[in-house]
Amino acid sequence: MSDALWELDGYEMVVGLEVHVELATNTKLFSSSPNRFGDEPNTNIDPVTLGLPGALPVLNRHAVELALRIGLSLNCTVQACTFARKNYFYPDMPKAYQISQYDQPLNVDGWLDLPDGTRIGIERAHMEEDAGKSSHAGGDGRVHGADYSLIDLNRAGVPLVEIVSRPDLRSPEQARQYVTELRGILLAIGASDAKMEEGSMRVDANVSVRRAGAEYGTRCEIKNVNSVRSVGRAIEYEAKRQILMLDAGESVRQQTRHWDEGDGRTHTLRDKENSDDYRYFLEPDLVPVEPSQEWIDQVRAALPVLPAVRRARLAEAAGVAPDSELIMSIVDRRQDQYALAVQAAGGDVGRAVVYIKEAFAELGPEPTLPAADVAALTRLEVEGALTATQAKSVLAELVARGGGDAAAIAAERGFAAMDTSELAGFVDAAIAADPEAWAKFCAGEGKAMGALVGHIMKASKGQADGKLVTTILNARKS
């Protein structure tokens, strides 16, 4: 299922994602109480947040700026926009309407490229306010069967941007990639802390299936998808559910469904046939936003280099595929600049990315370890003065010490590149010690090599060059 193209019994899945992100502002979208997660319930409240009679919204400029950053990062067209009221009753929605953007959103018609190059269309990225939180008490603690609910309005009015993709995703893997890539962009531009576990990034998935090339099928909207992993799981479950229905001659009903992480299934929340009548109309308490070209240009100019470009840069330098795990993880950790600094200091960037991936997980985007020290180590390894295993050991020491002379550390540890004849001796000893493994290895059982290498590494106290050992063993076999 890791293939980008997902197919089952000749069906193709069609997925569009609606991603809500809470913006990293100090205050709410329309009022000046704090936008802060985890405070005591109902402490971040003001007349607007509570929906008190007479309260009026005033738009947060910084929220608009962050929404602009998102739009521009997703290659959207920025346009003059308005706010509308979406009317519905729910106890955590204090005014009984949500202020959102309806037919005139800020950002439209953009795209996001997945690491594998697939281009996913972005229909719109609009601003709206978040709702409060209901906790359900008594019963089993869930909505159904609860004795009562308690409402906390700290989150009510927190600025959100809803990013709506076009139905361009075709597999769970692509959906995961989309969410991961989007999250990377949001973090890079400082628009949101994008923590799925805290709900500051939330994903709804629209899923349908069809025979390849056929018209779009009836779609279901899946809510409550709270991790990248469950994005993939929920979509896959839902597509299979729909295929089973179609194969059984039933038709898919347009529904909103709830993903249950526990049982790994989606459940009906409500049918869309008696769909809500939200009675959208322009919010009379707010005026249009018409971002000036100057403002747009300023925001664009201040955008950081986005992950995709950083990956491409590093991949080209290191000679590795941009969507390789090596590149992905380093750029994800924002240590690609560091890798390039090692290169600039005369190091081998190919080795540097391996070092960074393996040993820098805890060091953050700006390691204090001097790039020149790491560059020196890569040279020792590339020149054959140290084996990969030895270099790894020196690297660990460099990390522990926060820098140092790689050659000196290698000398302290008595590392010198082992010559082939010494290694040949260890190989002979290993064959003698484990003839059974040797026989299996000669018979073509690749796995048996592991046992032999184990003997050799033990005898050489870990100093043997693994690659060389493999070469010698293969040579002996033939």
Judged by CB under 8 A, the chain residues 351 through 410 that form the site for other proteins are none
Q: Which of 15, 19, 21, 63 binds other proteins (CB under 8 A)?
A: 63
User: For residue 238, what are the CA distances in angstroms to 81, 274, 364?
Assistant: 35, 22, 38
Which parts of 215-234 interact with other proteins (CB under 8 A)? Answer: 223
- Interface region with other proteins, contact rule CB under 8 A, candidates 20-28, 101-109, 356-364, 388-396: 20-28
Measure CA of the first residue to CA of the last residue in the chain; give whole Å: 38
The residues facing 271 across adjacent strands are 255
Q: Which of 7, 9, 91, 305 binds other proteins (CB under 8 A)?
A: 91
Note whether 51 binds other proteins by CB under 8 A. yes
Which parts of 137-196 interact with other proteins (CB under 8 A)? Answer: 139, 143-153
User: For residue 277, what are the CA distances in angstroms to 51, 87, 88, 254?
Assistant: 21, 8, 8, 16
Q: Which of 7, 62, 268, 309 binds other proteins (CB under 8 A)?
A: 62
Which parts of 289-308 interact with other proteins (CB under 8 A)? Answer: 289-291
The candidate with the shortest Cα–Cα distance to 375, out of 389, 361, 395, is 395
Note whether 128 binds other proteins by CB under 8 A. no
Question: Are 74 and 125 within 8 A, CB to CB?
Answer: yes
Q: Can you tell me the distance from the alpha carbon of 173 to that of 373, in angstroms, rounded to the nearest whole number? A: 39
User: 287: which residues sit within 8 A by CB, 6+ positions away?
Assistant: none
In the complex with other proteins, the residue whose CB is nearer, 85 or 333, is 85
Note whether 7 binds other proteins by CB under 8 A. no
- Interface region with other proteins, contact rule CB under 8 A, candidates 233-241, 259-267, 272-280, 436-444: 272-280
Note whether 94 binds other proteins by CB under 8 A. yes
Q: How far is the CB of 163 from other proteins (least distance, A)?
A: 20
In the complex with other proteins, the residue whose CB is nearer, 160 or 449, is 160
Q: Can you tell me the distance from the alpha carbon of 205 to that of 20, in angstroms, rounded to the nearest whole number? A: 11
Q: Which of 13, 17, 19, 27 binds other proteins (CB under 8 A)?
A: 27
Q: Which of 17, 21, 57, 170 binds other proteins (CB under 8 A)?
A: 57
In the complex with other proteins, the residue whose CB is nearer, 111 or 295, is 295
Task: Decide: residue 390, CB within 10 A, 0-12 exposed, 13-18 middle, 19+ buried.
Answer: buried
Q: How many CB atoms lie within 10 A of CB 19?
A: 25
**How many Cα atoms occupy the beta-carbon half-sphere of 18 within 13 Å?**
13
User: For residue 24, what are the CA distances in angstroms to 63, 178, 200?
Assistant: 8, 21, 9
- Interface region with other proteins, contact rule CB under 8 A, candidates 84-92, 178-186, 243-251, 459-467: 84-92
Q: How far is the CB of 183 from other proteins (least distance, A)?
A: 23
